[in-house]
Structure formats: C-alpha cells, structure tokens
Amino acid sequence: MITQVDVYRSLHRKVWSVRDRATELIEYRDTLVMRGVEFVVQPDGHKRALREGKKNVHAFARGEIMRTVPRVERGRGWLRVWYDLKRGCFWATTNGQTVMSLNEVSWVVFDDEGGAWVRIQDLEDGKDFQQAAVYTAETAAGSLRDELRFDTVDECQIWLTLITVEPWFVSVWGPNIHVRVEQGPGQTHALGWREDPSTCCMKVPKHLHMPSILLHELAHGLEPLDEHGPMFARTLLFLFEQVLGPAKRDRLTEEFENHKVVVGPPPGR
C-alpha cells in the first residue's frame, strides 16, 4: 500500500498522479486525501519550465495518503489551492476570503474535478503585518478627497478593463488578466482577491466607487500572496503612478514612509 507520496495533476489523463516516494511507482486516482502535507516546488524544474515554455513535473504535494476522504463544501471551511507557475508557489483563495501563500498544511483533499482543497483553520496563523499602516497612510495621503466617483458597477468595470489593456500594464502582468467587479451591498469596505490565475475580483459598495479604492483592490488581485505586504505596497504605488499620476504617487509614497510601510522593488515580471 502506498503511504508516503508525491501527488500532482496529470493533465493528459485528467486524474491525480500518485508517486510512491520509496519505489517511484505511479498510480492514478480520481480522488484522494493526504495529511501532513508539504507543498514542494523544485527550483531547477521550475526554471526549465519558464525557460522552455513547456510544463514539467516540478511542483507537487508531498505527504501521507489516507483511506478516508472528508466531505468538502465550497465556502464551508475549505479553500481551493492553485499553483502560480510564474512565481513558483502554491496559494489558496476563495470568494472574498484572505489569500495566503502555502508551504505546509495538515490536510489536502483532491477531488475528481481537478481541485485540491485545504482547511481554512490551517491558514489562520498567517498575519497581515502592515494592514493598519497601509490604511492609515492612505487616509493621511488624502486619496479619497475630491475624487471622481463612478455611479455604477458597470462604470467601474469599464474603467478597470481599460487599465488592463494599457501597454504598461500588459508589459508587467501580461495580456490575460481580467477584472470582475461586483456590487457590495451592505458592506462597509471593499474586498479584492484573485479568483483564479487570470481573474482579479472585487466587491465594492456604491459609496466606494472611486479610483483609489478600485486600484487598491486591483493591487490585491495582482499580488494575491502578499495581503498588505511589500509587494502589494509597491504594486499600489505603481498603479497610482500610471493611472492617477506622479503627484498622487509621491503623496502616498511620503505617507508610506511616515507610517513605516515596507515597500518592495518596482513590479516587473
């Protein structure tokens, strides 16, 4: 019986490949569950995939295979796992939930539709270490004062879609990023997340239909692994510069410095 295994998706067979670590033998399963899971990315294979533009087996889940499969209901305690080939890392997200990068988790469930799922409680230790500082800096920078307001979700959607086809945007994030904006009735704040590798989503209540808010949530979609960390901060500043102009960027940069927000290097992929 296979116990310690590496699991990855067979794109040709449309099943899960289960490789015995001791014998290297491979079997195929529609569904399975693992515990004590480590998400592994082999650097050499990752670099080769990027260099050659061809997929190879360099990223997989490693752990102990179990007999029983717990019930998984989308949005009820479980998050879908994705692999980001460009960055070479695993991540998990759900509609409006916090997005976290993944290294180790207690359980992973692999379903018969090609989905891998982790428990939300396994991710609860993650900390969004500079969220408060970012919010305070944005308020101090006066980003929301005297700002254009869009009347409808459709206007927000069109405005953001036009941004994603700009040459400067495509040169950084490529031509396949799409944005979906939804109304957020009853919410006091906006939410932004990456639904899948090519779709940035956001829910925005009507009173927050403003460019700076939309750019903030777009930055969350573009940097789904970072919450309000350095990569998010540098991407937000870059969007401010390109869309709202250098003056707005400089004002926000000043307040980031005043409130000790850590900012990464300019985005470039």
Nearest Cα residue to 243 out of 219, 204, 212: 212
Q: Is the pLDDT of residue 165 over 70?
A: yes
Select the more confidently predicted residue: 93 or 139: 139
Q: Is the pLDDT of residue 120 over 50?
A: yes
Nearest Cα residue to 95 out of 114, 81, 74: 74
**pLDDT value of position 2:** 47
- Enumerate domains of the chain plus CATH numbers: 4-123 (no CATH), 131-258 (3.30.2010)
**pLDDT value of position 193:** 87
Chain segment 16-59, per-residue pLDDT in tens:
999 999 889 999 999 888 888 888 999 999 999 999 988 899 99
Alpha-carbon 206 to chain mean position: 25
Nearest Cα residue to 88 out of 125, 123, 114, 55: 55
d(CA 29, CA 144): 52
**pLDDT value of position 121:** 58
Nearest Cα residue to 257 out of 242, 238, 241, 237: 237
**pLDDT value of position 93:** 61
First to last CA, the chain: 43
Alpha-carbon 261 to chain mean position: 21
Name the band, by pLDDT with cuts 50, 70 and 90, for residue 100. Answer: low
Distances (CA, A) of 131 to 135, 212, 240: 6, 16, 18
**pLDDT value of position 128:** 56
Average pLDDT value for the chain? 84
Distances (CA, A) of 185 to 29, 182, 189, 199, 203: 42, 9, 10, 22, 9
Most confident of 22-31, 58-67, 114-123, 150-159: 150-159
Q: Is the pLDDT of residue 154 over 60?
A: yes
Q: Is the pLDDT of residue 14 over 80?
A: yes
Average pLDDT rounded to a whole number, residues 230-243? 93
Q: Is the pLDDT of residue 189 over 60?
A: yes
